[in-house]
Amino acid sequence: MSPCVAVVLKGYPRLSETFIAQEIRALEQGGLNLRIYSLRHPTDPATHPVHREIFSPVSYLPEYLHQEPLRVYRAWRRARRLPHYQQAFWTWLGDLRRDFTRNRVRRFGQACVLAAELPADATRLHAHFLHTPASVARYAGLMTGLPWSCSAHAKDIWTTPAWEKREKLAELDWLVTCTAVGRDHLAELAPDPGRVRLIYHGLDFDRWPRPPELRPARDGSLPDDPVVLLSVGRAVEKKGYEDLLAALALLPAPLHWRLIHIGGGTLAPRLRERAEALGLAPRLTWLGAQPQEAVLRNYRSADLFVLASRVAADGDRDGLPNVLMEAQSQGLACLATRVSAIPELIEDGVNGVLAEAGDPVALAAALDHLIRNPATRAALGAAGTIRVRERFSMAGGIAVLAERLASTVPPQATL
């Protein structure tokens, strides 16, 4: 068995993080010995098929320190005997002075447990997300002398304070991120831009069949055969569902459509109330979070995919949503917004349509046109399939990532 890489996740398994699960499974298939450490227990009602294929052992760190006080205390006693514990402690204390929160205290306690419970053959810590998981990996790495690396994604890039990003980028071994816009932003903050590399998540096309050969030529003219709109995304501010509802309310009454939404999220009750107030409720179906099999069925039966992403008030935004790649892989025309890395996938009018973010009027105009024109949808869907299969396969990026993760020399520090 090869040396162990400890993968630190915020939560596992999660329906909204299929891209992480498919990466872990592919790394396993490539021969890497992984152990998953999750900061939170799962809350989703189901899992994807890929989760059931992953065989790496999973350990759950104390989600809240007071829930497992004896485990935390024992771990701290072991961790403080490590040669570099004092360095980790003073680093954490400096962070705490600038971020005086319970969350920051919890991160150090979780790092002590992680450092104390790592297997003897662990050679690297790798965190998914540059905020909380990277903090835990960073402190544990300092304690143990293990190198640590990171995969940065979206919210973690845009909501982590600049001072924290700079310091982590100065200490980590290397970082990969899944968008060019994210890569450029982090490279500007890194002491060595070469530490930051772009690797698109891409799709595992063994899990995504070829698209249906034909879709019904619905044009919104028949009340008993409406155009089926689909949106997959969590009900959170950055997904722009308030804007989407406002745009749908602007569509002319004689135009026949219905919207299916898939995803959980804290704003779901408020969005349902808003839909009711706008008179849209009879046309909307809220399915909640769904496993991949159900999501795939809806991609294949819908007529148009729509995602109205925007920048949230706290700076949070999408990276390159995997759901857009998934929809395109099934020949489904996509309407999205010009936010973050979405234009890295969709070229307006070529393989999809882009509207301005936060502009329901522009979104409504694009919806009106695409609902009425099935031939345009078919052409955009076909072009999207070609682009995503040619440029967004997971395979190339996984090979690079596997090589980096496997290249660590075992350290001398031990418990």
Instruction: Answer whether 78's CB lies under 8 Å from 116's CB.
Output: yes
The tens-digit pLDDT sequence of the chain (415 residues) is 577 999 999 999 998 899 999 999 999 999 999 999 999 999 988 899 999 999 999 999 999 999 999 999 999 999 999 989 999 999 999 999 999 999 999 999 999 999 999 999 999 999 999 999 999 999 999 999 999 999 999 999 999 999 999 999 999 999 999 999 999 999 999 999 999 999 998 999 988 999 998 899 999 999 999 999 999 999 999 999 999 999 999 999 999 999 999 999 999 999 999 999 999 999 999 999 999 999 999 999 999 999 999 999 999 999 999 999 999 999 999 999 999 999 999 999 999 999 999 999 999 999 999 999 999 999 999 999 999 999 999 988 898 999 899 876 444 433 3
Q: Which CATH class is domain 227-391?
A: alpha beta
- Least Cα distance to 54 among 82, 76, 34 occurs for 34
Half-sphere exposure of 2 (CA within 13 A, CB side): 19
- Tally of CB atoms within 10 A around 28: 15
pLDDT tens for residues 69-115? 999 999 999 999 998 999 999 999 999 999 999 999 999 999 999 99
pLDDT given for residue 408 in this prediction? 62
Label residue 331 left, alpha or beta by phi (over 0 means left) and psi (-120 to 50 means alpha).
Answer: left
In the chain, where does the domain assigned CATH 3.40.50.2000 lie? 4-201+394-405, 227-391
pLDDT given for residue 1 in this prediction? 52
Please provide the DSSP assignment of 64-115 as one string. Answer: SGGGSHHHHHHHHHHHTTSTTHHHHHHHHHHHHHHS-SHHHHHHHHHHHHHH
Taking the C-alpha atoms of residue 216 and residue 194, their distance in angstroms, rounded to an integer, is 49
- Least Cα distance to 233 among 343, 302, 309, 344 occurs for 309
In sequence order, the β-bridge partners of residue 327 are: none
pTM of the model: 0.90
Q: How is domain 4-201+394-405 classified at the CATH fold level?
A: Rossmann fold (3.40.50)
pLDDT given for residue 160 in this prediction? 96
Taking the C-alpha atoms of residue 339 and residue 333, their distance in angstroms, rounded to an integer, is 18
pLDDT given for residue 373 in this prediction? 98
- Least Cα distance to 182 among 165, 163, 204, 164 occurs for 165
pLDDT given for residue 3 in this prediction? 78
